[in-house]
Structure 1
Amino acid sequence: MRQTFISLFSLFLSCFILLLGIGLINVLLPVRMNLDGLSTESIGIVLSLYYVGLLIGALYSTSLIKRAGHIRMFAGCVSLGAVSILICSLYSEAMLWGAMRIVMGFCIACAFTAMESWLSDSSSKETRGQILAIYNAVVLAGLFGGQFFINVANPQDNMLFVIAGILMCIAIIPVVLSRHFGPVVEEFSSMSLRLLYKRSPLGVVSCFISGILYSAVFSLLPVFAKAFDITGFQLSLYMGAAIFGAFILQFPVGFLSDRFDRRTVLLVLLLISASAGIAVTILAPLGITWAVFLATAITCGIIACTYPLSITEALDKLRQSEIVAAMSSMILAFALGGVLGPYSASLVMDKFGGDALFYFLAFIQLLLACFVVFRMTVRQALPIEEQEQFVMQGSVISSAVELDPRTEYHESQYRPCAEVETTLMVAENDPALAVALSLAVAKVNAERGIEVAEALAILPNINVLNLFQAMSDILPEHIAELTLALVTVKPELGSEIAKLTPSTES
């Protein structure tokens, strides 16, 4: 596991920096639009459009990865996301910002798809649960830290947009400089929402409602905070408390959901969350800051737990072979809820005031609680020992489907690049020409040339020492990578290759 984490360090670093930028822009946009005098309804529309982009990205990200590869697609989409942020700094116009939010949502969905399939490819059956846990922690740590960048400059200036764009650009560097070649992407069939609803009505409805709740609270919380003069560094702490609650409450919620009837746990949590939300609106005018922060952390934490609870509830009713297909539909249900959440909440806030946010959330949660009670009357509880295990979801941008330990594990299949395939075909009849081809590839692309040489070294009719000597003359600055690649496939020649290495470095 330690070796796997080291090999994935560059990807985790890129993920953390990317989430710093996302965390900053998520709190900056509603604050800036509020300062610019936009109505709460307009703010809600702009923030809702982000989830439209997420939905489009979820539908087309796999096709883009297959076309361009993981690294190029990740770099291109994150760069485009940075451009959309910088464009927002040029003009304070709601229509423009809405369009850029769609672009941002699309880019983030594609970037997360690339990262999660890469992590899945690099994990084994034994390690993917641990990798998912580390990934969730990195995502939440980035979102948490990003909130505090809003204190670097005045939100009415353009400096914070520039900082968010810089962070996203920096996030590209660790992945681009990584030696890891992107994995092969496999497409999975999707179960229709209609069929999934027949199998698990509560799972689908609660996924949809959790999308409304999550998108509404984490998009409009800065607007609520402004109504009670929670600004500056205090706003960062307030948003940080909400994200911390979303992280820390998953542990007790997961413990309870695995030991009791999951529907009962969900019902009790919804009632607690609705009560905590109403308490926020009562305590905020009284200026009891610590109590407001605590109640917000509780209600936001439970709202964040509603999504993984919904997934687990649905999976209780499915066979393991259906889990991956069903998860795609649950992501769709969540995204549809995400589109409606901020706009619906903004209409309520525009009519009744900023403090109406938590009343709106409480009302939606109570509606879901009623549906939970209804489902409990028409279907008996599943025996505890037959329930699926709760799995923490640190981000609901996507659900890390292939990393989920509950899904059936499939060993990744390596597919060589076109240069490797061509060279191996040539090597069957003309080894010398194959070596010459590998040298030609190395002159154009060093990493690809080493990959071709590594593939050739496996063949019995290739003189590995001569190949090493020829490649080292062309790639003296990559001698360490070349040595490692050839010794890995031909360990019995390690000592002889080592004898040649000093002379090539001198």
Structure 2
Amino acid sequence: MGTLLSFTALFASIYLVQLGSGSLGPLDALSGAVVGFSTEEIGLLGSAHFVGYIVGCYVTPRLIGDIGHTRTFAAAAAIGAIGALLHPVIEGPLTWALLRVLTGLAIAAAYTVVESWLHAKTDNQNRGRVYGIFRVVDLVGALSAQGIIAVLEPASYAAYNLVAMFCCLCLLPLALSQRVAPATPKAPRLRPIKAALLSPAAVLGIIVAGITGAGFRMVGPIYGLENGLTQTQIAIFLASAILGGVAAQYPVGWVADKTDRRRVLLGLSVLAAVSCLGIATLMEPGNAAGFYLGAFVFGLTAYPIYSVSAAYANDLAAADFMVELNAALIFFYSLGAIVSPTISAWLIAEAGPEAMFFFMAAVHIALVAFTLFRMTQRHGTGPRTPYRYIPRTSMLLGRMFKGSNGRSGGSGGSAKD
């Protein structure tokens, strides 16, 4: 208990980071609609966020090596606050897109610092408990952010000032903590080609998770507006998907630890495609309860795909490649997340709101087809590493599990894909 309490400052900081980052995306979408941005321009804002995010994931470990954890976190908070504060000062889709690059970079940097700190200050005996608290804090922060969206006035100084305030407040727990910052970590190399060759099916699952997750989060508010939902209802709509993802983790994890994970990935993809088609064809504008249920089922089926794909890829990886592998998976997730908001917004503008979920159904169907093809190429075996819910937060997250996955080394087998 004492060990967990000693990380309170880090947990408090990451909760405040999630409050700011989780509310900024939907706020920008709603604000863009208020000030007259086109649907495509609003989608560009979501894509810009993940451009900054992937840059932040890549450069932050090196920045930590130059100036340390605390100064890097302070710089990230300052950049995030500036990016939020400038939104109502300088209006325009391209300007806001540049600001979202900055805030995306800041969010990635903040997560990288915290996760690096947690890894350095834990060991195999307490890492699982510490990580369990970390993921609960992250999820509670995400849900809390949706509640904030329900009461913020879009395109107002007060709304963006509140987001900036969270960026500033996240500094206080670390600044007032007496814990000594850890030693500088070694930055993982980014080796996406090796990861893709290790398991093409897992990498495609990661990309699909980026497409569906980012599209829903960044363009979901516009989908809600097009279907007659109020701002409060949009907040509940977004939160319902998060709750669905949370509810799925234990049962999906239990199944994924007992069978070939490609079968689990296949089943989730089929169900996700069905849920997307159901939302696209059955939802009636103004039926808030129906949208809540649809979003919950969507989160239940689509959100676990990242964790299943990551666990599957880790089954194949040598112990000394796991950190680099998980860095590459964040890279592939970001690729999907960059293109998805722009495509989803364009489809809504051209073909109506239901087109967004038809698009998501199509990418899940593609994942089903590719997974079936890969299953004909190699025979599967049982899982070799335990399933875990994995947030898409930084390229250093893989360090949290290295050495505690039940494997002491060796190379990944070739019996699976």
TM category (shorter chain) comes to: over 0.9
Report the alpha carbon displacement of residue 238 of structure 1 after superposing the two structures with TM.
1.3
Report the alpha carbon displacement of residue 156 of structure 1 after superposing the two structures with TM.
3.7
Runs of 5+ consecutive residues of structure 1 not aligned to the other structure:
410-506
What whole-Å deviation, never above 9, does each CA across 1:336-387 have from its counterpart, x for those lacking one? 12111111222222211122111110011111111011011111012x2x43
Give the equivalent residue in structure 1 for 2:387: 390
Quickly say closer, same or farther: Cα 1:59–1:399, change in 2 above 3 A: closer
Q: Is the 8 Å Cα contact of residues 388 and 406 (structure 1) preserved in structure 2?
A: no
Report the alpha carbon displacement of residue 188 of structure 1 after superposing the two structures with TM.
4.6
Q: Which moved further from structure 2: 366-375 or 397-406?
A: 397-406
Partner Cα distance (2:16, 2:184) in 1: 25
Code of the aligned partner of 1:32: S
Report the alpha carbon displacement of residue 163 of structure 1 after superposing the two structures with TM.
0.8
Give the equivalent residue in structure 1 for 2:37: 38
Please show how residues 103-114 of structure 1 align to structure 2 within 5 Å: 103-114=102-113
Give the equivalent residue in structure 1 for 2:411: none
Give the equivalent residue in structure 1 for 2:19: 20
Tell me if 1:310 matches 2:304. Answer: no
Please show how residues 104-503 of structure 1 align to structure 2 within 5 Å: 104-190=103-189, 192-285=191-284, 287-382=286-381, 384=382, 386-396=383-393, 400-404=397-401
Q: Is the 8 Å Cα contact of residues 73 and 109 (structure 2) preserved in structure 1?
A: yes
Give the equivalent residue in structure 1 for 2:410: none
Q: Is the 8 Å Cα contact of residues 283 and 292 (structure 1) preserved in structure 2?
A: no
Q: Would you say how many aligned residue pairs link Structure 1 and Structure 2?
A: 406
Q: Percent identity of the aligned residues?
A: 25
SS of the residue corresponding to residue 285 of structure 1 reads coil
Partner Cα distance (2:297, 2:346) in 1: 24
What whole-Å deviation, never above 9, does each CA across 1:386-438 have from its counterpart, x for those lacking one? 432111124455572211266679xxxxxxxxxxxxxxxxxxxxxxxxxxxxx
Q: Is the 8 Å Cα contact of residues 4 and 122 (structure 1) preserved in structure 2?
A: no
Quickly say closer, same or farther: Cα 1:286–1:58, change in 2 above 3 A: closer
Q: Is the 8 Å Cα contact of residues 19 and 139 (structure 1) preserved in structure 2?
A: yes
TM-score, normalised with respect to structure 2: 0.93
Partner Cα distance (1:300, 1:226) in 2: 20
Report the alpha carbon displacement of residue 82 of structure 1 after superposing the two structures with TM.
0.8
Quickly say closer, same or farther: Cα 1:194–1:405, change in 2 above 3 A: closer
Q: Is the 8 Å Cα contact of residues 190 and 326 (structure 1) preserved in structure 2?
A: no
**Structure of greater Rg:** 1
CA RMSD of aligned residues (A): 1.8
Partner Cα distance (1:313, 1:188) in 2: 24
Partner Cα distance (1:228, 1:406) in 2: 48
Report the alpha carbon displacement of residue 150 of structure 1 after superposing the two structures with TM.
2.6
SS of the residue corresponding to residue 239 of structure 1 reads helix
Q: Is the 8 Å Cα contact of residues 143 and 239 (structure 2) preserved in structure 1?
A: yes
Partner Cα distance (1:302, 1:396) in 2: 20
Give the equivalent residue in structure 2 for 1:102: 101
Q: Is the 8 Å Cα contact of residues 57 and 109 (structure 1) preserved in structure 2?
A: yes
Partner Cα distance (1:236, 1:208) in 2: 25
Code of the aligned partner of 1:233: T
Tell me if 1:58 matches 2:57. Answer: yes
What whole-Å deviation, never above 9, does each CA across 1:115-145 have from its counterpart, x for those lacking one? 0011111211011111111111111111110
Give the equivalent residue in structure 2 for 1:421: none
Give the equivalent residue in structure 1 for 2:414: none
Give the equivalent residue in structure 2 for 1:494: none
Partner Cα distance (1:201, 1:276) in 2: 25
TM-score, normalised with respect to structure 1: 0.77
Q: Is the 8 Å Cα contact of residues 78 and 167 (structure 2) preserved in structure 1?
A: yes
Q: Is the 8 Å Cα contact of residues 222 and 235 (structure 1) preserved in structure 2?
A: yes
Q: Is the 8 Å Cα contact of residues 209 and 305 (structure 2) preserved in structure 1?
A: yes
Q: Is the 8 Å Cα contact of residues 243 and 299 (structure 2) preserved in structure 1?
A: no
Code of the aligned partner of 2:206: C
Report the alpha carbon displacement of residue 223 of structure 1 after superposing the two structures with TM.
0.8
Q: Is the 8 Å Cα contact of residues 13 and 170 (structure 2) preserved in structure 1?
A: yes
Code of the aligned partner of 2:54: L
Q: Is the 8 Å Cα contact of residues 208 and 334 (structure 1) preserved in structure 2?
A: yes
Q: Is the 8 Å Cα contact of residues 44 and 341 (structure 2) preserved in structure 1?
A: yes
Code of the aligned partner of 1:160: A
Q: Is the 8 Å Cα contact of residues 393 and 399 (structure 1) preserved in structure 2?
A: no
Partner Cα distance (2:65, 2:241) in 1: 37
SS of the residue corresponding to residue 71 of structure 1 reads helix
Code of the aligned partner of 1:43: I
Report the alpha carbon displacement of residue 320 of structure 1 after superposing the two structures with TM.
1.6
Quickly say closer, same or farther: Cα 1:201–1:357, change in 2 above 3 A: same
Runs of 5+ consecutive residues of structure 2 not aligned to the other structure:
407-417
Q: Is the 8 Å Cα contact of residues 21 and 167 (structure 1) preserved in structure 2?
A: yes
Quickly say closer, same or farther: Cα 1:398–1:148, change in 2 above 3 A: farther
Partner Cα distance (2:48, 2:174) in 1: 28
Q: Is the 8 Å Cα contact of residues 320 and 407 (structure 1) preserved in structure 2?
A: no
Question: With CA pairs under 8 Å and 6+ residues apart, which has the higher RCO, 1 or 2?
Answer: 2
Code of the aligned partner of 2:95: L
Partner Cα distance (1:184, 1:56) in 2: 23
